[in-house]
């Protein structure tokens, strides 16, 4: 694992991944939006409003996936003090928070015509709102200290503690009586959704995941380059100070 802590090696890997992930992302978004908006059928109960699903559901999946990634990266920070893991979690937090905001916003737009209300304090909605607060708390905490190591350790602890919320979000529809329907895609007996709706949903999920990957490697690369520039500046300032002396 520590071989990937070398910034130059990571940047080379990122440069290899980026064009492939970016190409898959653009292709998946184009195909997924075409199928979702033009080819998939309207729902017999929800009519055209069901098309919000193709944004809402992948955003919800990615909100959970991104936080799980942050938690694993935070574990690597605390256990192995892996520098790239800290940058990965730090870079992922704003992306995951954005996915969570999209999930909550599209859920409200979907809920108003379907449930007759923008918001209810049911288990699924409340736990996803808590997830957003965890993202925001992580972002605030990691930037609250002048020393990067102290901020990273505190934020990593928060990320690991907050991971207990993920199974609550996942199984809230099974454990409590909520307005959300039970799982219809990831089921032991197979998806309970028609293939004409399932395929656009899967393709949009791939597009969202590639968006995460391309944005993540770009943000980590930017952080590494910025750190390298700061080191060069410190070195120059040090040499100038020695010269004056």
Residue 11: per-residue pLDDT: 83
One digit per residue, pLDDT tens: the chain, 245 residues?
556 567 778 888 888 999 999 999 999 999 999 999 999 998 877 888 889 999 999 999 999 999 999 999 999 999 988 888 999 999 999 999 999 999 999 999 988 888 888 888 888 999 999 999 999 999 999 999 878 788 899 999 999 999 999 999 988 877 777 766 666 665 545 566 878 889 999 999 999 999 999 999 999 988 888 777 766 666 766 666 665 54
Cα(10)–Cα(8) distance, integer angstroms: 5
Q: How is residue 213 written in tokens?
A: 């990957």
Residue 112, both tokens: 């108003």
What's the Cα-to-Cα distance from 43 to each of 21, 39, 54, rounded to whole Å?
32, 12, 13
152: exposed, middle or buried (Cβ count in 10 Å: 0-12, 13-18, 19+):
buried
What is the C-alpha to C-alpha distance for residues 28 and 236, in angstroms, rounded to an integer? Answer: 46
Q: How many residues does the chain have?
A: 245
The three-state (H, E, C) secondary structure of the chain, written as one string: CHHHHCHHHHHHHHHHHHHHHHHHHHHHHHHHHHHHHHHCCCECCCEHHHHHHHHHHHHHHHHHHHHHHHHHHHHHHHHHCCHHHHHHHHHHHHHHHHHHHHHHHHHHHHHHHHHCCCCCCCHHHHHHHHHHHHHHHHHHHHCCCCCHHHHHHHHHHHHHHHCCHHHHHHHHHHHCCCCCCCCCCCCCCCCCCCHHHHHHHHHHHHHHHHHHHHHHHHHHHHHHHHHHHHHHHHHHHHHHHHHHC
pLDDT of residue 229: 73
Six-digit token string for 222: 């930017």
- Predicted pLDDT of residue 244: 53
The confidence score (pLDDT) of residue 122 equals 86
pLDDT of the residue at 148: 79
Q: How far is CA 243 from the centre of its chain?
A: 48
């Amino acid at each position: 694992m520590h071989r990937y802590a070398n910034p130059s090696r990571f940047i080379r890997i990122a440069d290899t991944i980026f064009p492939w992930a970016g190409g898959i992302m653009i292709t998946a978004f184009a195909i997924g939006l075409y199928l979702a908006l033009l080819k998939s059928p309207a729902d017999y109960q929800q009519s055209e409003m069901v098309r919000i699903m193709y944004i809402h559901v992948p955003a919800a999946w990615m909100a959970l996936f991104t936080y799980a990634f942050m938690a694993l990266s935070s574990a690597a920070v605390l256990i192995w003090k892996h520098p790239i893991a800290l940058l990965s979690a730090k870079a992922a937090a704003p992306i995951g928070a954005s996915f969570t905001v999209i999930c909550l916003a599209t859920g409200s737009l979907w809920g108003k015509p379907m449930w007759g209300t923008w918001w209810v304090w049911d288990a699924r909605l409340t736990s996803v709102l808590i997830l957003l607060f965890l993202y925001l708390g992580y972002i605030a905490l990691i930037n609250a200290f002048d020393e990067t190591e102290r901020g990273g350790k505190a934020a990593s602890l928060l990320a690991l503690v907050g991971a207990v919320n993920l199974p609550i979000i996942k199984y809230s529809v099974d454990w409590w009586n909520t307005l959300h329907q039970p799982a219809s895609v990831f089921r032991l007996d197979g998806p309970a959704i028609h293939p004409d709706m399932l395929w656009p949903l899967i393709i949009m999920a791939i597009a969202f995941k590639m968006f995460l990957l391309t944005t993540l490697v770009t943000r980590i690369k930017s952080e590494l380059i910025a750190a390298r520039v700061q080191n060069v500046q410190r070195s120059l300032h040090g040499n100038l100070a020695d010269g004056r002396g």
